[in-house]
Structure 1
């Protein structure tokens, strides 16, 4: 008998590799959460528990050299992930499309979603106090499983319907942008700070 594994879903995990920059990014993120009035207003109007620059600032790398330094590091991580995915880019490189800060207060979450019009999406975790929660990834075949039985409790990760990726400060997570994911509620006593981004 032969059983083959087909249509693998890649998920990338690595450390940013620059602890000093990580500390600077924490300061930069908290500065934005205090000073970006449009972002604060958008977060409040849309029920985001905390602050995000998602809808207010689209120029962080040109606005602040700390974010420009981050992009230089992310470009290397994304290039390695693109190679692991066997992308045929015709000699070109994936390019940063958007980058935004998230400061999630205790109890805050972000429901399941995808990132349309992008090739690779990801998050850098800047501050993850104990209990801050994981990134929950959903099996992309779930809508098509129809009458499929549930999986055994001892099934390995490759058979799971949902996989929880536990970040730590400095964790870089990357995935293809069609992969549905969500931010589980922040059960920590402090704020979870992350920087999310899309490449196209």
Structure 2
């Protein structure tokens, strides 16, 4: 008897922390994120209107790589990772993946982000800037879940690939990427400090 793993969902994980000058770059990126949170009045208004506990530039700023050098450097890193991920997925592309959007997320204690997907993109992800102790993991949902009907629950010690939900706990510098149709969420931030990340889409 043998089992054949079919229709596998591949999640990409890498780290910027191994590169030279990471600590300085990450500190500058954190400062840039906080500066936006302080100065982006339209973004703060968007957060109030949508009940976002913290700050995100998602609804206000669409040109971060052109606006600040820290995000331009981050884009160069992410472009390389997006190419590597697309190759690993055996995508037949006419051109390299193109960064479509990039936005800052600063979650205060208790803040989270409910389950969602990213339409109009094919690769999405997040790079983590500050992840204090107790900060939220990334929760990924098995895309087959709505169709499982009478499928029994799995054992608590089942392999990660068999679980209906997987929680990935990043560190500063972690890059996580997934196909944009994969439903994911950020549970409430249980840390006592802000959790800072930058999310992105490639189209």
TM-score (norm 1): 0.98
Cα deviation 1:49-77 (Å, max 9, x = unaligned):
00000000000011111101100010011
Tell me whether 134-143 or 14-23 shows the greater mean CA deviation.
14-23
Kindly indicate whether residue 168 of structure 2 is the aligned counterpart of residue 165 of structure 1. yes
Distance 2:202 2:32 in 1: 22
Distance 2:156 2:192 in 1: 31
Kindly indicate whether residue 86 of structure 2 is the aligned counterpart of residue 77 of structure 1. no
Q: How many residues align?
A: 199
Q: Using the TM superposition, give the Cα deviation of residue 2 of structure 1 relative to its aligned residue in structure 2, in angstroms.
A: 2.5
Does the CA contact (< 8 Å) of 1:19 and 1:170 recur in 2?
A: no
Map of 1:27 onto structure 2: 31
Map of 1:55 onto structure 2: 59
Q: Using the TM superposition, give the Cα deviation of residue 84 of structure 1 relative to its aligned residue in structure 2, in angstroms.
A: 1.1
Distance 2:134 2:189 in 1: 7
Does the CA contact (< 8 Å) of 1:139 and 1:160 recur in 2?
A: yes
Map of 2:47 onto structure 1: 43
Distance 2:154 2:39 in 1: 48
What are structure 1's unaligned runs of at least 5 residues? none
What are structure 2's unaligned runs of at least 5 residues? none
Map of 1:64 onto structure 2: 68
Kindly indicate whether residue 88 of structure 2 is the aligned counterpart of residue 87 of structure 1. no
Two-structure CA RMSD over aligned residues (Å) = 0.8
